[in-house]
């Protein structure tokens, strides 16, 4: 019985690892671009603007992982073991979902860093809200209309027609509004946690350097 249950868990994880790995890869594309765009490069060139457009095209993939929790419900029905679900399945889902959303948080922190660097700090919260809304629309397009980031290139007509028409309905607007609130709320929490941890690490590093500098040579 135990061997059968373990085999079932392994099978479920193997199936999930395919889409989890792919979705995490898509979520880390905007994170990598945010480092290049907002930490390394300076804006103004055509290459920077191209990267900026690609960044926003792929950015919804990071919070999109929040919606993958629907797969957890099916997996729970398949495994039907409280211990396996609690100790194996839920931790794996939390790791993947939090990893994707943290990529979203750090990407926007890098965007805010760039705005601060060019003297536009007052625009940070506005840009964040606009980004949350755009990503809420992108998540809806991806989850319900099954559009992908590269469809901006492969089928732009469908995005401008079907995509826009669909989001003007009452139900899509409600879903997008709820998604926007969830993204804004979780981002507000995770941003403070992330910045708090980074500041703590910075203080620890500074204190370590001071301690080393005050240590007499023997």
Strand ranges, E, within the chain: none
**162-177, pLDDT tens digit by residue?**
888 888 888 999 999 9
Q: How far apart are CA 64 and CA 138, in angstroms?
A: 8
What mean pLDDT, rounded, does the chain reach?
87
What pLDDT does residue 218 have?
40
Q: How confident is the model at residue 202 (pLDDT cuts 50, 70, 90)?
A: low
153 token code pair: 């290139």
Q: How confident is the model at residue 56 (pLDDT cuts 50, 70, 90)?
A: very high
Q: How confident is the model at residue 124 (pLDDT cuts 50, 70, 90)?
A: very high
Q: Could you tell me the pTM of the whole model?
A: 0.87
83 token code pair: 């211990």
pLDDT at 217 over 60: no
pLDDT at 215 over 70: no
Query: Which residue would you say has higher pLDDT here, 44 or 57?
Result: 57
91-95, 167-171, 199-203: which has the highest mean pLDDT?
Answer: 91-95
- Locate tokens 């099978």: which residue? 11
DSSP 8-state class, residue 216:
P
């Amino acid at each position: 019985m135990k061997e059968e249950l373990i085999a079932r868990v392994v099978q479920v994880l193997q199936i999930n690892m395919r889409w989890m790995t792919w979705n995490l890869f898509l979520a880390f594309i905007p994170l990598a671009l945010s480092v290049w765009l907002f930490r390394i490069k300076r804006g103004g060139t055509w290459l920077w603007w191209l990267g900026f457009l690609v960044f926003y095209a792929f950015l919804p993939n990071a919070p999109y992982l929040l919606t993958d929790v629907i797969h957890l419900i099916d997996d729970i029905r398949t495994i039907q073991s409280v211990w396996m679900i609690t100790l194996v399945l839920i931790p794996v889902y939390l790791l993947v979902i939090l990893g994707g959303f943290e990529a979203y948080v750090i990407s926007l922190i890098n965007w805010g860093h760039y705005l601060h660097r060019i003297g536009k700090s007052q625009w940070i919260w506005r840009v964040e809200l606009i980004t949350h809304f755009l990503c809420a629309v992108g998540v809806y397009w991806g989850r319900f209309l099954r559009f992908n980031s590269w469809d901006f290139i492969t089928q732009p007509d469908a995005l401008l027609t079907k995509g826009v028409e669909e989001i003007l309905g009452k139900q899509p607007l409600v879903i997008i509004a709820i998604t926007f609130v969830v993204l804004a709320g979780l981002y507000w929490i995770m941003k403070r946690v992330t910045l708090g941890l980074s500041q703590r690490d910075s203080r620890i590093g500074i204190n370590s350097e001071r301690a080393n500098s005050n240590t007499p040579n023997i």
